[in-house]
Amino acid sequence: MSETIPSGIDLPETKVAGHVRHGSNAGQPLTRREGILKVKGAADYAADHHPAGLLHAVLAVSGIARGRVTHLDIAAAKAHPGVVEVMTPANAPKLAKSPDLKEHPFAWRLDLLQNDLVRYANQAIAVVIAESLEAAAEGAVLLAPRYEAEPARIGLDADGPQDLYVVGAGSPATDGAGDVEKGLADAVQSIAATYETPPQYHNPMEPHAAVAEWIGGKLILHTPTQALSMAQGRIASLFGIKPTDILIKSPYLGGGFGGKGSISGPQILGIMAARLVQRPVKIVLRREQMYGPVGHRAATRQAFRLGVDAAGALTALEHRTRTTSSAFDDFFEPAGGASRHLYASPAIFTTHEGVRNDTGTPTFMRAPGEATGSIALESAMDEMAEKCGLDPLEFRLRNYAENEPITGKPYSSKALRECYAQGAARFGWASRPLAPRRMRDQDGLLTGWGVGTALFPALMFQAEARAILRANGPARVEIGAHDMGQGAWTSLAQIAAESLGVDYGTLDFEIGSSDLPNAGIAGGSAHTATAGTAIHRAATDVIAQLTALAVNDQRSPLFGAGNRNLVARGGRLSLQDDASRGEAYEAILARAGRASLEGKGSAAPDPTNQQAYAMYAHGAVFAEVKVDPDLGQIRVTRLVGAFAAGRVINPRMVRSQYYGGMIWGISFALHEHALVDPRSGRVMNANLADYHVPVNADVPSMDAIIVEEHDPHVNALGIKGVGEIAVTGTAGAIANAVWHATGVRVREFPITLDKLLG
């Protein structure tokens, strides 16, 4: 994709690897590179593709949560006009490996019509393939399945809990330091409180979809994914083909939130259907089918015990979590992680236990663990502050951690004090009364103010990139990166332009295809740091090659410059202290007889820095709510968030991510709750009418403050992630504001009027 886009304001020069690049657009609030395409409807999402001979596939899904399918009326479905085939366990293409094989921890076990067993409601039990979507949907109804059902195991008390060894992405289930029992015994004040969070489901605008076409044993697949290379590897393993025989196209995603991090069963079923009928097949999940086979955030029950001394300093913090997973796989929500890294205490203990449910397997969902854990931790901190008679912000400052609490590591950078100060000043926190139910507006509505601390790890994964300088044409950068709306098309291109010393508007920039260098996964708020570092190093490589050509060529005005710093700017190399002595990239290449130069770069976490430092983004969110004293109706009316997340590549995109996170926090605190029928195991509100998320009328006045922070250790570019951190502070701030407005502490989320009215 190449577009002509006006360039931004030049920045001061930056010295990089022996030469200097400046005049780039990094740091500028540029608009979305692909924005016009999206507004015009010209950005092609997976389901927008219609290869010749396309058939449509529709899932027939289970209406029970546990048991087996005893009958499908296949004849009736196949007799329906337009139906081409019905794929069942009897005729599904054979796979090279069992979909229950765990080749790596994130290769979730998939239901791919290998038998008649049912493991959760909404599991695929057949696929109807037809000439039209309507015919396929009608054929699926005609299957009229019958079952041999067993009682569903649903909820946090469904089965005996099991001890866990790891949670989330491999974190230890139990961790801590010091003697919690002694800390509680020595405490002047203590509290014990239990909080519950419900199951929540990814609801991106774009559902999971696949358009699959087999050509001569090779697969072309259009599908939304947050991890092109990982999806390619999983598909190759299941079908027994080489990864290079699979081309996945995913330039645009209509949201992911973690639910598109791993390839899902329905996407694989679309590929199987295309192989079965030997024609291209499109499969798109209906909204209600998103509740089951493509992941969710599991429910939690979190029990806290906190103790403090006479000065209001924590003496002990205990955080015990019970959470659910599927009966057949292992992903457990790491809620206790929120208490391991934030507040100073000489004694901390966190642990998790798991309960098996007859549901689809949970997975990563925006701020996994930190979102569920932080709303409970921030509520517990507020309850402790109240018992001490302290302002909640003052209480947090008294327990500010100068080093990571359990490990004692220094933070690679930490501007949380500045976040507290700037957020509180912008919000007007100093005028907050200490006691609840002391503020009303002119309409008599109870008004409350709350604060929550935001924390998210500064992660980094592995990635590769390619940069190309051309004698006749614009510079080009290639990386198999993913843009699910967070702005990767724009921010990564800004990094590329800065690192190459070319104008952003002339750059030829390509992402979103599996035949490009592997960009890793767009998850963990790590994509800009990871892919950006690979791009930066690829550009550094190619500029170093170009520099060598110039300084070793007697015909170049830069001949003999040696180790003197050079400026790479506007497509020219010149001396840093003599701009008149230089030449254009094209001239250097032409004189050397080179049509192009190619540079390669890679990114990976630095194990030395990871061992030496605790790496996190931090923030503080201040919330105002208004509550009707008679009806219990709650409205968030104001949010101010202040966040420190290292270097900012594009403040417009960063603020957009902060706003999105804060809106998600509103959703977590007040709206989202999947209601599961304990008899059938089915989600009863599996639609966007009854599964509540904030709409425009629910979104208050929001302000996101970007707090300046320089981190020399986190990665070469000093970038931390911003996509998830704002969820973690906001949900707790709103819960605490509701208490401040009403004097009622709700410990079961979301907070709804019935819980306030009792």
Cis peptide before 6 (omega within 30 of 0): no
In the predicted structure, residue 390 carries a pLDDT above the cut 60: yes
Task: For 101-146, write each residue's pLDDT tens digit.
Answer: 999 988 999 999 999 999 999 999 999 999 999 999 999 999 999 9
| C-alpha closest to that of 697 among 646, 757, 637, 749 | 637
| Ranges assigned E (strand) in 3-72 | 14-16, 19-21, 55-61, 67-71
Task: For 220-258, write each residue's pLDDT tens digit.
Answer: 999 999 999 999 999 999 999 999 999 999 999 999 999
| C-alpha closest to that of 266 among 211, 213, 320 | 211
Alpha helices in 326-453 (DSSP H): 370-388, 392-398, 416-427
In the predicted structure, residue 25 carries a pLDDT above the cut 80: no
Task: For 167-195, write each residue's pLDDT tens digit.
Answer: 999 999 999 999 999 999 999 999 999 99
Per-residue pLDDT at 10: 29
Give me the half-sphere count of Cα atoms (radius 13 Å) on the Cβ side of residue 39: 6
Torsions phi, psi of 450, nearest 5? -135, 160
In the predicted structure, residue 23 carries a pLDDT above the cut 60: no
Burial classification of residue 607, based on how many CB atoms lie within 10 Å of its CB (0-12 exposed, 13-18 middle, 19 or more buried): exposed
CB 276 within 8 A of CB 113: no
CB 610 within 8 A of CB 400: no
Per-residue pLDDT at 728: 97
Instruction: Please give the average per-residue pLDDT across 283-295, as a whole number.
Output: 98
* Topology at the third CATH level for domain 46-151+254-290: Aldehyde Oxidoreductase; domain 3 (3.90.1170)
Torsions phi, psi of 393, nearest 5? -70, -40
Per-residue pLDDT at 41: 95
In the predicted structure, residue 15 carries a pLDDT above the cut 60: no
CB 258 within 8 A of CB 363: yes
User: CA-to-CA distance for 277 and 281, rounded, in angstroms?
Assistant: 9
In the predicted structure, residue 16 carries a pLDDT above the cut 90: no
Angle, CA 130 vertex, CA 128 and CA 135 arms, to 5°: 90
DSSP element (H, E) containing 265: helix 265-277
Instruction: Please give the average per-residue pLDDT across 426-430, as a whole number.
Output: 98
| Ranges assigned E (strand) in 25-77 | 55-61, 67-71
Residue type, 682: R
User: CA-to-CA distance for 750 and 78, rounded, in angstroms?
Assistant: 45
Chain CA centroid to CA 40, Å: 27
By annotation, the residues acting in catalysis are 724
In the predicted structure, residue 20 carries a pLDDT above the cut 50: no
User: CA-to-CA distance for 236 and 248, rounded, in angstroms?
Assistant: 12
CB 276 within 8 A of CB 91: yes
> 636 is written with which tokens?
């968030």
Other Cβ atoms less than 10 A from the Cβ of 174: the count is 16
* Topology at the third CATH level for domain 369-459+611-757: Aldehyde Oxidoreductase; domain 4 (3.30.365)
Per-residue pLDDT at 227: 98
User: CA-to-CA distance for 92 and 75, rounded, in angstroms?
Assistant: 16
Per-residue pLDDT at 4: 28
Chain CA centroid to CA 531, Å: 15
Residue type, 551: V
> 502 is written with which tokens?
């070319």
More reliable by pLDDT, 498 or 3:
498
CA dihedral (496, 498, 504, 510) in degrees, to 10, reads 0
Q: Which residues contact 744 (CB under 8 A, 6 or more apart)?
A: 738, 755, 756, 758
Task: Answer whether 14-30+461-604 and 369-459+611-757 agree in fold.
Answer: yes
**What is the share, in percent, of the chain residues with pLDDT greater than 70?**
97
User: Looking at residue 290, what DSSP letter applies?
Assistant: G
Q: Which residues contact 333 (CB under 8 A, 6 or more apart)?
A: 167, 168, 297, 298, 300, 321, 323, 362, 368, 369, 372
In the predicted structure, residue 17 carries a pLDDT above the cut 70: no
**Mean of all residue pLDDT scores within the chain:** 95
Give me the residues paired with residue 61 across strands: 124
Chain CA centroid to CA 361, Å: 17
Per-residue pLDDT at 563: 66
Task: For 616-665, write each residue's pLDDT tens digit.
Answer: 999 999 999 999 999 999 999 999 999 999 999 999 999 999 999 999 99
Beta strands 14-16; 19-21: pairing state? antiparallel
Assign 704 a pLDDT band (cuts: 50, 70, 90): very high
Sheet containing 117-118: order of strands: 117-118, 67-71, 146-149
> 526 is written with which tokens?
């790590």
Residue type, 648: V
> 320 is written with which tokens?
């015990």
Q: Which residues contact 48 (CB under 8 A, 6 or more apart)?
A: none
Instruction: Please give the average per-residue pLDDT across 489-512, as a whole number.
Output: 97
CB 318 within 8 A of CB 304: yes
In the predicted structure, residue 11 carries a pLDDT above the cut 50: no
Other Cβ atoms less than 10 A from the Cβ of 155: the count is 17
| C-alpha closest to that of 552 among 588, 508, 604, 516 | 588
Sheet containing 701-706: order of strands: 446-457, 616-627, 634-644, 701-706
Residue type, 603: A
* Topology at the third CATH level for domain 14-30+461-604: Aldehyde Oxidoreductase; domain 4 (3.30.365)
Q: Which residues contact 640 (CB under 8 A, 6 or more apart)?
A: 423, 426, 427, 621, 622, 702, 703, 705
Give me the half-sphere count of Cα atoms (radius 13 Å) on the Cβ side of residue 208: 28
User: CA-to-CA distance for 657 and 666, rounded, in angstroms?
Assistant: 14
Domain-wise residue ranges, the chain: 14-30+461-604, 46-151+254-290, 369-459+611-757
